[in-house]
A and B are shown apart, each in its own frame.
Chain A
Amino acid sequence: MSIKDAAQAVMKKAVQAAPDGWMPGGTPDPLIRQKHGLIGKPVSRLDGPQKVSGTARFAAEFPMENMVYAALKYSTVAKGRIKELDSAAAEAAPGVVLVMTYRNAPRMKPAPLFMSSDKAAGGDDLPIMQDEEIHWNGQPISLVLAEAQEQADYAKSLIRVTYETEPSVTVFEDAKANAEQGVFQGQPLLLEIGDAEASLAAAPHKVDVVYRTPRHSHNAIELHAATVGWDGDNLRVHDASQGVAHGAWSLAQVFGLEEAQVHVTSPYVGGGFGSKALWQHQILAAAASKVAGRPVRIMLSREGVYRIVGGRTLTEQRVAIGAQADGSFDALIQTGMVAMGRHNNMPEPFILPAMSAYKSGSFKLAVEAAKMDMLANTFMRAPGEAVGTFALESAVDELAESLGMDPIELRIRNEPEKDPTSGVPFSSRHIVEAYKAGAERFGWAARKAKPGTHREGEWLLGMGCATATYPYYRMPGGAARITLTKDGRATVEIAAHEMGMGTATTQTMVTADRLGLGMECVTVNYGDSHFPGVVLAGGSQQTASIGASVIAAHRELITELLKLAGKDSPLAGLDADEVTGRDGYLCKADELGRRESYVSMMARIGRDEITAEATAPPPLEFTHWSMHSHGAMFCEVRVNAVTGETRVTRFLGYFDCGRILNPKTAASQFRGGIIMGLGLALMEETQFDERNGRVMNPSLAEYHVPVQMDVPEIDVIWTDIPDAHAPMGAHGVGEIGITGVGAAVANAIFNATGKRVRDLPITLDKMM
Chain B
Amino acid sequence: MSINVNGSSIDLPSDTRVSLLDLLRDHLDMVGTKKGCNQGACGACTVLVDGERILSCLALAVQYEGRSVTTIEGLSTEGMLHPIQRAFIEHDGFQCGYCTPGQICSAVGMLGEVKRGLPSNVTGDLAGGSITLTRDELCERMSGNLCRCGAYNGIVDAITEFAETIK
Residues in chain A within 8 A of chain B (CB atoms): 44-45, 47-58, 60-61, 63, 69, 148-150, 154, 218-223, 268-273, 299, 301-302, 499-502, 664-665, 667-669, 671-676, 699-701, 705-709, 711, 713-714
Please name the residue on chain B nearest to A662 by beta carbon: B92
Complex Cα spacing A272 to B148, Å? 10
Chain A residue numbers with a CB within 8 Å of B99 are 221, 270
Known contacts: A53-B73, A700-B37. The answer to whether A705 contacts B96 by CB under 8 A is no
Please determine whether B148 and A713 come into contact, CB atoms closer than 8 angstroms: no
**Chain A-chain B contacts (Cβ-Cβ < 8 Å), number:** 188
Please determine whether B142 and A273 come into contact, CB atoms closer than 8 angstroms: no
Please determine whether A221 and B147 come into contact, CB atoms closer than 8 angstroms: yes
Please determine whether A51 and B97 come into contact, CB atoms closer than 8 angstroms: yes
Please determine whether B37 and A54 come into contact, CB atoms closer than 8 angstroms: no
Please name the residue on chain B nearest to A53 by beta carbon: B76
Chain A residue numbers with a CB within 8 Å of B64 are none
Please determine whether A502 and B95 come into contact, CB atoms closer than 8 angstroms: yes
Complex Cα spacing A302 to B144, Å? 17
Chain B residue numbers with a CB within 8 Å of A705 are 146, 148
Q: Which of A50, A219, A668 has the most CB of B within 10 A?
A: A668
Contact of B98 among A48, A58, A148, A301 (CB under 8 A): A58
Binary contact track B122-142/A, C-beta < 8 Å → 1, others 0: 000000000000011011101
Please determine whether A223 and B146 come into contact, CB atoms closer than 8 angstroms: no
Please determine whether A54 and B150 come into contact, CB atoms closer than 8 angstroms: no
Please name the residue on chain A nearest to B141 by beta carbon: A708
Contact of A707 among B96, B97, B143 (CB under 8 A): B143
Could you pull out 5 A-B pairs where Cβ atoms are within 8 angstroms?
A51-B94, A60-B35, A222-B96, A674-B150, A708-B140
8 other A-B residue contacts (CB within 8 Å) besides A500-B96, A705-B148: A51-B100, A63-B29, A221-B34, A221-B36, A221-B96, A221-B98, A675-B150, A708-B152
Please name the residue on chain B nearest to A220 by beta carbon: B148
Partner-binding segment picked from B14-22, B48-56, B111-119:
B14-22
A225 to chain B, nearest CB (A): 9
Please determine whether B101 and A671 come into contact, CB atoms closer than 8 angstroms: no
Binary contact track B44-67/A, C-beta < 8 Å → 1, others 0: 100000000000000000000000
Known contacts: A271-B98, A705-B146. The answer to whether A302 contacts B29 by CB under 8 A is no
Interface of A: prevailing SS? loop
Please determine whether B39 and A302 come into contact, CB atoms closer than 8 angstroms: yes
Contact of B85 among A53, A299, A664, A706 (CB under 8 A): A53
Chain B residue numbers with a CB within 8 Å of A714 are 153
Complex Cα spacing A672 to B92, Å? 12
Known contacts: A51-B94, A708-B142, A709-B139. The answer to whether A676 contacts B148 by CB under 8 A is yes
Known contacts: A51-B94, A701-B41. The answer to whether A675 contacts B101 by CB under 8 A is no
6 closest Cβ pairs, A-B complex = A54-B32, A500-B95, A51-B97, A270-B98, A675-B150, A500-B96
Please determine whether A47 and B97 come into contact, CB atoms closer than 8 angstroms: yes
Complex Cα spacing A148 to B152, Å? 35
Please name the residue on chain B nearest to A222 by beta carbon: B98
Chain B residue numbers with a CB within 8 Å of A708 are 138-140, 142-143, 145, 147, 152, 155-156
Please determine whether B98 and A52 come into contact, CB atoms closer than 8 angstroms: no
Please determine whether B97 and A700 come into contact, CB atoms closer than 8 angstroms: no
Complex Cα spacing A45 to B154, Å? 13
Please name the residue on chain B nearest to A305 by beta carbon: B37
Please determine whether B146 and A700 come into contact, CB atoms closer than 8 angstroms: yes
Chain B residue numbers with a CB within 8 Å of A222 are 34, 36, 96, 98
Contact of B42 among A47, A221, A273, A673 (CB under 8 A): A221
Chain A residue numbers with a CB within 8 Å of B156 are 708, 713
Complex Cα spacing A40 to B36, Å? 34
Please determine whether A700 and B92 come into contact, CB atoms closer than 8 angstroms: no
Contact of A667 among B22, B42, B92, B135 (CB under 8 A): B92
Please determine whether B39 and A700 come into contact, CB atoms closer than 8 angstroms: yes
Please determine whether B152 and A700 come into contact, CB atoms closer than 8 angstroms: no
- The yes or no answer to B12 lying at the interface (CB within 8 A) is no
Known contacts: A54-B71, A268-B97, A270-B97. The answer to whether A711 contacts B150 by CB under 8 A is yes
Contact of B35 among A52, A150, A299, A676 (CB under 8 A): A299
Please determine whether A270 and B96 come into contact, CB atoms closer than 8 angstroms: yes
Contact of B150 among A49, A57, A664, A706 (CB under 8 A): A706
Please determine whether B26 and A148 come into contact, CB atoms closer than 8 angstroms: yes
Please determine whether A500 and B18 come into contact, CB atoms closer than 8 angstroms: no
Complex Cα spacing A432 to B143, Å? 37
Please determine whether A223 and B139 come into contact, CB atoms closer than 8 angstroms: no
Complex Cα spacing A39 to B29, Å? 38
Please determine whether B85 and A52 come into contact, CB atoms closer than 8 angstroms: yes
Please name the residue on chain B nearest to A670 by beta carbon: B150
Please name the residue on chain A nearest to B121 by beta carbon: A709
Chain B residue numbers with a CB within 8 Å of A223 are 35-38
Complex Cα spacing A701 to B42, Å? 8
Please determine whether B96 and A671 come into contact, CB atoms closer than 8 angstroms: no
Q: Which of B29, B32, B71 has the most CB of A within 10 A?
A: B32
Please determine whether B148 and A699 come into contact, CB atoms closer than 8 angstroms: no
Chain A residue numbers with a CB within 8 Å of B146 are 221, 700, 705, 707
Please determine whether B25 and A54 come into contact, CB atoms closer than 8 angstroms: no
- The yes or no answer to B10 lying at the interface (CB within 8 A) is no
Complex Cα spacing A52 to B102, Å? 10
Please determine whether B140 and A664 come into contact, CB atoms closer than 8 angstroms: no
Please name the residue on chain B nearest to A498 by beta carbon: B96
A670 to chain B, nearest CB (A): 9
Known contacts: A665-B92, A705-B146. The answer to whether A700 contacts B41 by CB under 8 A is yes
Known contacts: A221-B148, A668-B151. The answer to whether A54 contacts B31 by CB under 8 A is yes
